[in-house]
Structure 1
Amino acid sequence: MIEFPQYGIYPRWPEDGQGWIHPDDIAIVSKLLPGERVVRRESFDGTYYHCRYGKWTFRLRPALWLQIKAEDLDVGDEVETVGLGMERDLFVGEVIGMYYVRRKGRIAYRLRRADQNLPRLFLREHLRLLSDKQRVRQGEIEHPTPKWNGSGERIGFSD
């Protein structure tokens, strides 16, 4: 049984042309692939893998791809950078790209800070997913909820 999601890259275009791409998705796929972009396979319907890269979804027939060990970040996630002494600014950004760096065997992430795409790539250990923030645990003491029955006095002001 195949477990999803799977992450990987399509480093080369198959030599048999565009037959491996769903006809409705050729325009999207020809802009994204081949290359080092890390694609997320979400399901398989028997003919096509249903894939996602950020906001783009597309369907591909089985083809040669390099599967990559998943990290817990995806395109579109909000992250904060983790500082390294006084060397790096801390900021909150959005993951706008995932690229596989073969010589490191790792995924590198491109971020957008406000409306600016950053030229530098970040590794996973330099980023913290915002949903991983510390949370206040549920209280252990039962506090009574005040109840109001509608009665009371009105404060009158004299002119």
Structure 2
Amino acid sequence: MQWPQLPDYGCFLRWPENGQGFIHPDDTPIATQLIPSPRVLKRVSFDGVYYHYVYGRLRFRLRPAMWLPIRIEAIEIGDQVETKGVGLERERFVATVWGMYYVQRKGCILYRLRRGEQLVPKLFSGDQLRLLTNKTTVRPPTTRYRAPNWNGKGETVPDTQLDE
């Protein structure tokens, strides 16, 4: 069996038919609040028995179960975004992504935003948002540096003096 490349995203729109046995016993209260729902969950790792899921600050574990995989845009929960204004129809503002919901009939993800401590009542699609969070990744180092040699007094010692 080939395991999916992680992280990946998806949702459980329906409850799996075999009860709650697929949920890690310690995570039942969290998982039963989030499943079933259109919330887009992030599957971050697999420990050999359970997949580890994240939704914002919530974390839980599930055994492999059928879910609906979803291809996401570059926007995730916790990212800072700016709304795109359209004439006088939409106000422009900066907010944080608070929730992600998959709308099956539209085939897209809608985002719930939070401005400060207040949730914005309207949901936004990805094309109405501009990502402000810089998600650059650092590539692995390719240059090898010699470790400094210390003389015990807080000073570096050239390699030639080490043999003395």
TM over 0.5: yes
The corresponding residue for 1:59 is 61
Counterpart residue number, 1:15: 17
Q: Does 1:122 align with 2:124?
A: yes
Q: 2 CA distance for matches of 1:12 and 1:19?
A: 15
Instruction: Show the counterpart of 1:146.
Output: none
Matches within 5 A, 1:70-85: 70-85=72-87
Matches of 2:85 and 2:75 in 1, distance apart? 18
Where in structure 2 are the equivalents of 1:79-98 lying within 5 Å? 79-98=81-100
1:105–1:68 Cα change, 3 Å:
same
Tell me what 2:143 maps to: none
Which 5+ residue runs of structure 2 have no aligned equivalent? Answer: 135-164
- The residue that corresponds to 1:36 in the other structure is 38
Give TM-score scaled by structure 1 length.
0.79
Q: Distance in 1 between the 2:52 and 2:112 partners?
A: 23
CA–CA distance in structure 2, aligned partners of residues 77 and 42 of structure 1: 17
Aligned to 2:105: 103
Q: How many residues get paired?
A: 132
What is the rounded CA distance, in whole Å, between the counterparts of 1:96 and 1:86 in structure 2? 25
In structure 2, distance between residues paired with 1:66 and 1:19: 19
Question: SS at the partner of 1:28?
Answer: helix
**Post-superposition offset of 1:2:** 2.3
3-state SS in 1 of match to 2:133: helix
SS of the residue aligned with 1:46?
coil
TM-score normalized by the length of structure 2: 0.77
Report deviation, 1:113.
1.3
Q: CA RMSD in A?
A: 1.1
Which runs of 5 or more residues in structure 1 are unaligned?
Answer: 133-159
Question: After TM superposition, where is structure 1 displaced by more than 6 Å over at least 4 residues in a row?
Answer: none
